[in-house]
Structure 1
Amino acid sequence: MTRETAVLIFIALAVVLLGLGVWAWIRRTRRDSALAAPLGEIPAGAATRAVFHGLYVATTRHDEPLERLAIRGLGFRSRVTVTVTDLGVALDLTGQPRLFLSLERIASVGQATVAIDRVVEKDGLVRLAWHAAADTPDRTLVDTYLRAQDASSRAVVDAIAGILPAPTSTTPTGTDA
């Protein structure tokens, strides 16, 4: 085999692999087309509680940190500014319109160690669970992973948890239980 033949084989292999990657991403985009990020500005009158800078890592299916979703605006890693207000959380990703997660959309917030493409120290990621399809009956739950840069992930989680309504308990407490 000549050197030119080997180079042509490698070029052909690279083109095939790139084509397969593009085809897979298109299929993933079609699969996730029913899911939408809530684009919008922070409502007028909302009080800012905290602002954090960091990295947007990924959005995945709820409790499946290795299954990336191809939601428009959330498909790729980016720098992010997280603004916590009393009415919800705004995510400003580089080159994308602002996303605003109202309190009704946010299901929970916590810490994580692993997300697709990223493994960090224990509890080094913020996991924000929210409803991607708020207007549909199934209310698909997704997890967005963030990596704080100017604060600890615990500080981001505490700031977001501080605006969420307290969970209602259905179990009796006290001496009547």
Structure 2
Amino acid sequence: MDKLLPTIGILAVVIVVLLLAIMGWRRRMRRDAPAGGGYTAPATLAAPTTTADVLYVATTKAGEHLERLALPGLAYRGKGTVEVSQDGVQLRVAGEQPVFVPAAALSGVGAATVAIDRVVERDGLLRLGWTTSGGAAADSYFRVVDPAGRGALTAAIESILPGDSAQGSTNHDRTGPKNWEV
């Protein structure tokens, strides 16, 4: 009996914390709903010029690498693939719906060191800048599984960037410091 009450108390605290976390995530999903998400892929998508296996980290507001956007298909971290074609970029995260970003919606690609709660070696992440279907500027962060394929993926994305986006496309953060030291 002397262990029952503390056990019930701990279980109650754990349940309350889990419920608050679920409520907070649902609130974030509602908050980010106006941002939209990916676009409808064309009926006949061009063949991919480059494909890379990645570890998807997060999507954030552009230039705010600590402010997560919970977008459909990009809400959760996971293994995935990035396919680049002349039409745009297709993001596939395991367990999520695919996200298509047309070339016209891309704003840049570059290296990053930090995103949300993930800090890696200098320039260890690939940042893809784009505009969501709701008009929000966003950055999606990936860790390319095969480092040898990172350059090819970056070059393929740079080749389809709209003309005015090519300059400065490797900027990590448009408003803050270029590199974070940890």
Specify if TM > 0.5.
yes
Alignment match, 2:175: none
Alignment match, 1:149: 145
Deviation at 1:40, TM superposition (A): 3.6
User: Counterpart of 2:92 in 1: which secondary structure?
Assistant: strand
Structure 2 residue runs without a partner (length 5+): 167-182
Alignment match, 2:174: none
User: Counterpart of 2:17 in 1: which secondary structure?
Assistant: helix
Deviation at 1:85, TM superposition (A): 0.7
**Using a 3 Å threshold, how does the CA distance of structure 1 residues 41 and 167 change in structure 2: closer, same or farther?**
closer
Number of residue equivalences: 165
**Using a 3 Å threshold, how does the CA distance of structure 1 residues 87 and 43 change in structure 2: closer, same or farther?**
farther
Deviation at 1:39, TM superposition (A): 4.6
Larger radius of gyration: 1
Moved over 6 A (4+): none
Instruction: Name the Cα RMSD after superposition.
Output: 2.1
Task: Report the TM-score, using the length of structure 1 for normalisation.
Answer: 0.84
Percentage of matched positions with identical amino acids: 39
Q: Which of these residues, 129, 136, 140, is aligned with residue 136 of structure 2?
A: 140
Alignment match, 2:160: 163
Structure with the largest fraction of helix? 2
CA contact (8 A) 1:111 1:154 kept: no
CA contact (8 A) 1:60 1:144 kept: yes
Greater shift after overlay, 66-75 or 153-162? Answer: 153-162
Deviation at 1:47, TM superposition (A): 4.0
Task: Report the TM-score, using the length of structure 2 for normalisation.
Answer: 0.82
Does 2:73 align with 1:73? Answer: yes
